[in-house]
Structure 1
Amino acid sequence: MKLAFSQIDSRATALSVKDLSFSYGGKKALDHVGFEIQAGECAVLLGPNGAGKSTLFALITRLYDARSGRIELCGFDIKKQTSKALGRLGVVFQQSTLDMDLTVMQNLDYHAALHGMGGKFAKQRIQQELERLNMYERRKEKIRQLNGGHRRRVEIARALLHKPSLLLLDEPTVGLDVPSRQDIVEYVHHLAKDENIAVLWATHLIDEIFPEDKLIILHKGQIEAAGSVAEILQQTGVATIKEAFYALTQGTQE
């Protein structure tokens, strides 16, 4: 069995969100949100806390059901072709979902089995991803023995085991020290470029943005701007992303 990181061509759309709205009771969390991410593109979903980033991720991953709008992963409608759509997706949530009492290897073995990977092939994939993240030597350690940065590396390795076309990361560096944050940010950007994976990275931290990234600025459930860094700066008429973010979110910068 052989998997390729991206089964779509280099210019194909990995994620398409169209006219997406969602409410909690009477409170609207997302209001007619729409954007696209191409294969190999690293898109940063930038917004203050409470902007709707986590709600958007919950809809893309089908934790919540969108009653209004459309989401497609690699051309598959997430409602009508759920299994095919989610099979193209790798996710790292803000809150860790690793089993603290299992080893690194046991956590990844379990995830591989969920994706129908077993035996020798699963062990090969686990070794490949852990080695790329400099974590293979720690494969027999329990998760609770690892620091926050190392746990995040395990979660990223787990998300990549089945070689998805789209990687979602929901504020993955929250609570990490600066060196760990930098390592993860650089790794993910290289991953998008070298492996042609589309990335959607939700954050409220300006310094996690690279000049070549696509920016999607979300505020109060609406997209205030979407485009390259240069396009956003030109649109807002300022010199830095920090200033653009402040202008677009009307002083709610965090």
Structure 2
Amino acid sequence: MPEGDTVFKTAQRLDAALHGQTATRFDLRVPQAATIDLAGHTVREVVPRGKHILMRIGDWTLHSHLRMDGSWRVYRPGERWQHPAFKVRAIVATDRAEAVGVDIAEVQVVAARDEHELVGHLGPDPLADDWDAAEAAHRLSGDIRSIHVALLDQRNVAGFGNEYAAELLFLRGVLPETPTSQVDIAALLDLGVRTIRANRDRADRTFTGDARRGRTNWVYGRAQRPCRRCGTLIQTGRIGADPTRERVTFWCPRCQR
């Protein structure tokens, strides 16, 4: 599942492939931007912001979001794609590489000076150079909802998704529905920052320290399986800011109180 660490590595890979090169092909396959063509402009850089990817080309920015199933693939010129063409939403090619956005969302092009209109609402990003722990703690502490919902709100902290929320709350021994006011926010954020930065530098995400298949998570995706610590069956439920944004939660009823 794409979370902040996945987006960070995706942006790094795109930047390594396209940085400083002239776009020879620019094809957006979404109705609202299909006529825009930035071929001939230089790809200045590709940067992440939370779960958003900003590809800065000339005086413009191509924005995209991976959502649940999206990805950016990098191919050599002329290399055969490893996915159906109907899933492609964006193509940015140079003489050296071809970046293909598959099932990506929120595809938009704005003037570079207007990037803030797309990502200015986001909270501090633990993977960004300007990470502000105090501001993140302030935003989270002011949220009156459950801690699981508050962590998922990108206006509080940018980059943590459902998997991170489940795993961090397990590691801190906190139930998902606990009011944010009852949680040690500073300790939770410190753990979250250390964890997402460690995963940023790993080939595969892990919360247990074990990267073997099926061993990476404590509770996420493990409903009705024994807790790795105490053996109690992992429970699952649903929680969200409203019924249209509910997410599946996972917790150990013994380890999280």
Taking structure 1 as the reference length, what is the TM-score of the superposition?
A: 0.28
Query: TM-score scaled by structure 2?
Result: 0.28
| Bigger CA radius of gyration | 2
Per chain length, whose mean CA-contact separation is higher, i.e. which structure has more relative contact order (CA < 8 Å, sep 6+)? 1
The structure where helix makes up a greater share of residues is 1
